[in-house]
Chains A and B, each alone.
Chain A
Amino acid sequence: MKTLWLTQVAAIVRLEIGKTFFSRRGLWVYLLACMPMVIFGGHSIVWLKRGLPCDFGHDTNVFASIFQVLDMRLTLFFGCLGIFMNLFRGEMLDRSLHFYFLSPVRREVLLVGKYLAGLLAAVTIFTTSTVVQWGLMYAHFPKSVMESYLRDGNGWRHLTAYAGVTVLGCIGYGSVFLLAGALMKNPIVPAAAVLVWESINSFAPAVLQKFSVIYYLKSLCPIEAPPDVGPVFSMLLVNADPVAPAVAVPGMLLFTMLVLVVAAMRVRKMEIHYGTD
C-alpha cells in the first residue's frame, strides 16, 4: 500500500504520455522546437559557402544571445505553454477530466503524474532541440577543431550547461503553465501575464526576481550574452544580479515546488463543470 501512489503515478504517466508528445493541440510545439535550428543551420551554411573564417569567440557570443532571447524566452516558453497548459484545461475542454476525478487517485498524485508526463515530453523535445542547435551553430568548423573544442576547450561545458538550462526551463515553465491551465480556461490571459512578468523581471526588486523562471535560467547560462545586440535585446539579456549555480539550481527547484503546491491546492478544489449538458 505504501507504494500505491507510485503505481498510480506510473499509470497516469502511461496514459498521458501519448497526449503530451502528440496532442492535436500541441503539434506546433515541434515547429517551435525546429525554428531555432533553422537559424543556426542557416548560419553554418552561409559561413561555409562564403568561406568565412571560423571564430569561436564570435559564434559563441551569437549562440549565447540567440539562445537567451529566442530559446529561453520564446521556444521554451511557448513550448511549455503548449504542453503543460493543456494538462488540465485540455481535459476540461474534451470533457474527460471526470475519468481521473472518479478514480481512487488523490488529486495531488494526479497532478504529479500529469506533470511528469509533460516533463518527459518537454525535456525530450527541447533538450534535443538545444543540442542540435548547438551542433548546427558550429557545423561549419573543421571536425578536428570541434573535437578538441569539445575535449579540451569550453565546448563540452557549454553544451551541457545549455542542455541543463533547457531541462530546468522545462521544469520551471512546466509548473507555471500547469498552474495557469488549472486556474483559467482562457490561456491567453495567463500566458500574456507570465510573458510580461518574465520580461520586466530584471527591473523588479530583488526579492520578486526570485519568483521567475528566467532569473534562474539567466544565471545558469555559461557565458553572459554580449550587450552589443541593440537596446531591446540587451534589456532582456542583462543579468543585474546573477547567482551561483549552487544557488540557482536549488532555487529553481524550490520555486517549482512552490508553484506545484499552489497548483495542487487548486486542483483539490476543482469542480467538474463542462458547460451546458
Chain B
Amino acid sequence: MSEPHEIVFDNVSKFYGDVLGVNRVSLSIPPGITSLVGPNGSGKTTLMNLMTGLLRPTRGSIRVLGVAPDNPEELFRQLGYCTQFDSFPKGFTGYQFVYSFLRLYGSTHAEADQFAWRAIERVNLVEAAHRKIAGYSKGMRQRIKLAQATCHGPAVLVLDEPLNGLDPLVRAEVIALLRSLAEEGMHIIISSHILHEVDMISDQVILLSAGYVVAEGKIRGVRDEIQEQPMQILVRSNAPSALAAKVFEQDSVVEAKIHNDGRGLLIKTKDPDKFYRLLNRIALNGIAVESVIPADDDVNSLYEYLIGSEDKPR
C-alpha cells in the first residue's frame, strides 16, 4: 500500500486530549515542492510533526519513503526538518548547532566540519557562524535552522514557515535554493499561511482548514473570493439528521439538507472556517464525520482555478 517514493498519510488523525489537530488525513505526496497552506491553527505544524515522529498519530499510519516516523535512525538519514520552534540547545553557536547534528549523524570530525561549513555557506552565515545563536536575529535563526536541516543532504526536506522573518533578498535566495534542490528530485514540504507566498514556487498545494485537508492539487493562482460567496460543503456522515440539528446552531450556516443518498449533509455557509471549527466540535462529541468535500459548483470551479484545471479561464 505504501509507495516507497512518496510520503503517505493513511487516514491519519491527531487529537491533543480532546482538541483536534488534524482529522482523517489521507495524502500521497510525490517529489517536488509541496506547500501546506492554511490559516493559523489549521494543522500544518501538526502534520509536519507527525511526519517526523515528534508527535504520534492518534489513528492511522504514516510512511516517509517507506520509513515509519518512529524509526528516527532511518528516517533522519533521509529527512531534514526545519521546525517552527524558535529555541536551540543552550549556549550553541550557529556552527556548533550544525556540527553537533552531523556528529550525531555519525560523521567524523573532519566530515562534520566540512559539511557544516558547506551548509552554512549556502545560507550566507559564515561571518556569524561562531557567534552564539542567542544573539542572532530572527532571519539568521531561520537560516541556521535551514542549514542544519540540509547539511546531511536529505532526500526529504520539511520546512515549517521557512520564509518567516526573512528579508526580500534572502527570501528570494532561499526560494532559489529550494527550487534547485527540488529539481534534483528532492521532496520539499513547505508550510505557509499565505497562499500567494508559495504559489509561485509550489508544484503542488495542500489546503488545510481547521484540521481537514480541504483541497489538494496543482496550483495556478490565487483568489480571495473563497471567503466571499456562500460555499456548499458535503459532509459525509452516517447520522446526517443529528448533524443537521447541531449545524443549525451556527448563524453562518445558510442552508443544510440531507443528501439524496441519505448518508450525508449538504451545507451552505458563508464562513467555511467557522463551519469547520464547529464541525470539529461536533465530531468530538460523538457524531462520526467521514469526509468533508467542497461540493458547490462555483466553489469547485474556484478550487479548480486555484489548484489547476487547465481549461477554466479566470
Residues in chain A within 8 A of chain B (CB atoms): 4, 7-8, 11-12, 14-15, 19, 94-96, 98-107, 109, 268-269, 271-274, 277
Contacts and interface: CB of A to CB of B under 8 A. Distances in A.
B56 A269 contact: yes
Given A94-B89, A104-B73, A268-B70, 12 more contacts: A11-B103, A15-B89, A99-B89, A99-B101, A101-B54, A102-B76, A103-B76, A109-B73, A272-B55, A274-B87, A277-B45, A277-B85
B301 interface: no
Given A11-B100, A271-B54, A272-B54, A104 B72 contact: yes
A153 B289 CA distance: 80
Given A272-B54, A272-B55, A98 B83 contact: yes
Nearest to A99: B89
Nearest to A108: B73
Contacts of A106: 72-73
A111 to B, nearest CB: 13
B106 interface: yes
7 contacts: A8-B106, A11-B104, A96-B90, A102-B76, A268-B70, A269-B56, A273-B16
Nearest to A113: B104
Contact of A102 (B16, B54, B55, B103): B54
A4 B106 contact: yes
A101 B72 contact: yes
Interface residues of B, number: 30
A18 B160 CA distance: 31
Nearest to A104: B76
Contacts, number: 76
Interface string B43-84: 001000100111110000000000000101111110001011
B104 A277 contact: no
Nearest to B55: A271
Nearest to A268: B70
B88 interface: yes
Contacts of A272: 49, 54-55, 85
A222 B77 CA distance: 51
Nearest to A105: B104
Given A94-B87, A104-B73, A271 B104 contact: no
Contacts of B72: 101-107
Contacts of A4: 73, 106
A95 B104 contact: no
A4 B103 CA distance: 11
A103 B54 contact: no
A244 B105 CA distance: 44
A96 B104 contact: no
B76 A96 contact: no
Given A19-B90, A94-B87, A268-B70, A103 B55 contact: no
A7 to B, nearest CB: 5
Nearest to B96: A15
Contacts of B74: 104
Contacts of A105: 72-73, 76, 104
Contacts of A269: 56
A268 B73 CA distance: 12
A107 B72 CA distance: 8
B106 A104 contact: yes
Interface in B74-133: 74-77, 81, 83-85, 87-90, 97, 100-101, 103-106
